[in-house]
Amino acid sequence: MRIVVNGLGEMGASLALAIKNGQENAEIIGVDLNVKTLQRAKEIGLADEVNTDLFAVAPTADVIILATPIHIIIDSLHKLSHADLKSTVLITDTGSTKKQVMDAADELIKNGTSFVGGHAMAGTAKAGIDALDAHLYDSAPYFLVSENQADLDRLRNLLSSLHLNFVETTAKKHDEMMAMLSDLPHIVAASLVNASSLTLANHPELPQYAAGGFKDTTRIGGADPQMWTDILQTNRDATLEAIELYQQQIDTLKQALINNNSTEIFDFFAASKQTRMTMEEDF
Amino acid sequence: MRIVVNGLGEMGASLALAIKNGQENAEIIGVDLNVKTLQRAKEIGLADEVNTDLFAVAPTADVIILATPIHIIIDSLHKLSHADLKSTVLITDTGSTKKQVMDAADELIKNGTSFVGGHAMAGTAKAGIDALDAHLYDSAPYFLVSENQADLDRLRNLLSSLHLNFVETTAKKHDEMMAMLSDLPHIVAASLVNASSLTLANHPELPQYAAGGFKDTTRIGGADPQMWTDILQTNRDATLEAIELYQQQIDTLKQALINNNSTEIFDFFAASKQTRMTMEEDF
């Protein structure tokens, strides 16, 4: 089984390695624009073949995994719909947003090609092939989006050795949940860091006094700017809705504080405590 | 040396125990409205004497440590300025905001009583005497506010066995830093939890898919509502300023996303990443 993995970053390389370890007959064709990454993929035995051009190897693929930044996944899907592919090929992706990816796959799917949108809630702050970890996906929720049960089953079967927690959902539900669980927290954390940089200018000693609360709340403010530009732009509507909801909350608390209304301030934090405790039971 | 500690919660009880362990001649008089807390303080040998009334024991005190919620600290300071105290008494507090506390201590200080505002960057999510930990303060930054060097030295000496990282500062600087390092992060986290509770209603499975980013960013959204009402109300001006700065940042990102301006989105996250990395060096 020839499995083409386009993009050997942390997610793509880890997924390729986990599949290779779990599937005896898996032949990995690693594709990346970075020649050093390809050399490394050969050296460590991750890839059986390498190429810098997805479309040079796509025609012979049984499976194509698109693991690049999302805007490139979208571009690749459009181009693949005009490529000469095996009629039995299964295409999937690893992008963090699904609506725009599913829209881009529409032509392929209409042509009868099997496509399943995929997204694992896994990954670290690291990046690149050297961040690869065959156990990165262990127990991770793995969202699957397709209206075709046979295609869903083929992908589940391909990834069966990875100990994933598969979640079949729709692109819309996925993106709404991600806007709240992932996109908004990154915006919130980065905004807090950027706001604090103004105070930092007046009080350079500020970070020395940071306790766990500040450190935890700002941690993902250090995330990769290019990746988050890509994610937010491809999940714009759901993220803007989440920002609106969030701004209303900030404003509610601000008004309560302006009015010095202790009951409203208390209720705001009491509601948060209650919800956080309820959520924690399911974390 | 008779040391009265008013309020045997996590902070007061831990401070009392650390002083008792470090100072041979320290006699701890524990004061709390909760009789069970006082019984427990006697049982574990934390307090040599106990009382429910600060003003019954204040006249014999060499040191008075006010470790209650801030609005009670403020009330106690006003009342102590009319109490019959030893002329040599040293009074201090453990409140998380300092401007209103220092204002409340003004009359006492004008009468010639020694008062030093204090605040340790220590504490956990736990509360009450059972959260007591003699090492809670180890290496913690401990802010001291007073214009009288002799009083500052007396307090440093009293707490010398606690391995604290003393920081002499002004109430204004302290409160500005706390607004950004502590008050705003709590508002940000609680607002994120409250915003997510609306999405949670539509997607009850949401918490199962939460990754580290959401968990970390919302962690302090579970903080004690009463304590945070108290802290925000006594640091209102600095907190409102921090909220304003923060709202501008959220709005900057929102506008960039509305305009689909990838350069502005990238710059926003790039600035955050840069600042977060710089801060991390001093954490």
Q: What is the mean pLDDT of chain A?
A: 96
Cβ(B163)–Cβ(B119) below 8 Å: no
Q: What does the radius of gyration of chain B's CA atoms come to, in whole angstroms?
A: 22
pLDDT tens track for A239-265: 999 999 999 999 999 999 999 999 999
| HSE-up of residue B36 (Cα within 13 Å, Cβ side) | 3
Cβ–Cβ contact A127 with B under 8 A: no
**CA of B246, closest CA in chain A: separation in Å?**
5
pLDDT at residue B127 greater than cutoff 90: no
Cβ–Cβ contact A150 with B under 8 A: no
Please tell me the total count of domains within chain B: 2
Range of the domain at A129: 2-169
pLDDT tens track for A148-187: 999 999 999 999 989 899 999 999 999 999 999 999 999 9
Interchain proximity B215–A283, CB inside 8 Å: yes
Cβ–Cβ contact A222 with B under 8 A: yes
pLDDT tens track for B1-45: 999 999 999 999 999 999 999 988 999 999 999 999 999 999 999
Cβ–Cβ contact B221 with A under 8 A: yes
Q: What is the pLDDT of residue B111?
A: 94
Q: What is the pLDDT of residue B123?
A: 78
Mean pLDDT of A100-127: 93
Whether residues B138 and B267 share a domain: the answer is no
pLDDT tens track for A184-239: 999 999 999 999 998 999 999 999 999 889 999 999 999 999 999 999 999 999 99
Whether residues A16 and A124 share a domain: the answer is yes
Among the candidates B147, B169, B191, a domain finishes at: B169
Which two tokens mark A55? Answer: 């479309």
Nearest to B282 among A190, A208, A220 (CB): A208
pLDDT tens track for B237-260: 999 999 999 999 999 999 999 999
User: Please, what is the angle between helix B184-202 and helix A236-258, to 10°?
Assistant: 130
Interchain proximity B211–A181, CB inside 8 Å: yes
- The CATH number for A220's domain is 1.10.3660.10
Provide the ipTM: 0.93
Whether residues B136 and B229 share a domain: the answer is no
Mean pLDDT of B115-121: 96
Which two tokens mark B263? Answer: 């350069």
Whether residues A132 and A76 share a domain: the answer is yes
Distance, in Å, from the CA atom of A209 to the CA atom of A197, rounded to the nearest integer, reads: 14
Whether residues A161 and A193 share a domain: the answer is no
Which amino acid, one-letter code, is at A255? Q
Whether residues B163 and B180 share a domain: the answer is no
Whether residues A125 and A59 share a domain: the answer is yes
Which of B62, B47, B48, B90 shows the shortest CA–CA distance to B3? B62
First to last CA, chain A: 37
Whether residues B89 and B157 share a domain: the answer is yes
Closest residue in A to B262 (Cα) is: A229
Interchain proximity B266–A226, CB inside 8 Å: yes
Q: What is the pLDDT of residue B190?
A: 98
Among the candidates B141, B169, B197, a domain finishes at: B169
pLDDT tens track for B185-215: 999 999 999 999 989 999 999 999 998 899 9
Cβ–Cβ contact B193 with A under 8 A: yes
Chain B residues with CB under 8 Å of A217 CB are 185, 188-189, 216-217, 219-220
Among the candidates B169, B203, B224, a domain finishes at: B169
Which amino acid, one-letter code, is at A245? L
